[in-house]
Amino acid sequence: MPFQAEFFVRNRDVEEVLPPDAQKQFQQALDTMLEQKDWSIVNITSALDRGGRVPLPIEGRKEGVYIKVGSRRPFSDCLVKATSSDNQFRCSLEQQPVIPCYDSFSPQFQIDWCNVTLTDLSGLSTAEGTPVWGDGVLEDASEYNPPTDSPEKAFLADYLLTILLPLLVALLLCLLLAYVMYGRREGLHKRDMKTSDIQMVHHNTIHSNTEELRHMASSRDVPRPLSTLPMFNVRTGERVSPLPGRHDSAHVPLILAQQ
């Protein structure tokens, strides 16, 4: 449809215009006004999708709807006058534009004649490289030809940047850590050379005394303390066999004073 016109209907919601009967009534009203029978509805858009406000919940308030129609014939003089500069100036003053044919439009559709958009696509040509958008449906006996395969792309540079570069950085960090841990250590001999003789004698004496005490403790032959024996009662000093006895545990007093 090279010639397209868009009207804003103020007293309709989008769901009220979607039924085929409502669209047919709008087409008949448009044909009667413009005296042109080849108009067809191209698109229906809610005013809310164009930045309109949600109407108040009052009876008679509608959100409004944009109806775009198309034709293969040029625009009539009535539509051309609706978008003239004089009428646009009157619309800027919030006055009704002067259109000779709007009185013949059906009163059940309240058209905002200051919000009429005309689009002429007849001057576009595919030979000039300008795309012409269709309806998205393939014609009969047509075949979809997908685009050819894209050329192969070399990913070697991306691989080197993604894999080898982090590995190289990790290797350098490992080498630096190994140098700090092994190459910069003072060592036991160097540490002892920096320590004073009195401190070294004191340190060696503590070590030798500790070893001597451990040797004496391991070689002494004395009975083990009672507190280390199993089932030893600290309060009474009694040693109970860890094996379960045959006496009844219900008659064992809980308090020593009851014995």
Q: Give pLDDT tens digits for 28-47.
A: 888 878 777 778 888 999 88
**Mean pLDDT lowest for which of 84-88, 185-189, 205-209, 211-215?**
185-189
Longest dimension (CA), the chain: 130
| Residue 71, beta-bridge partner list | 3
* H helix runs in the chain, sequence order: 14-17, 20-34, 77-82, 85-92, 156-159, 165-178, 188-194, 197-219
197 alpha-carbon distance from chain centroid? 70
Q: Please give the radius of gyration of the chain, using alpha carbons only, rounded to the nearest integer.
A: 50
pTM of the model: 0.47
Residue-range domain boundaries for the chain: 3-123, 155-195
- pLDDT at site 241: 57
Contact 43, 14 (CB under 8 A): no
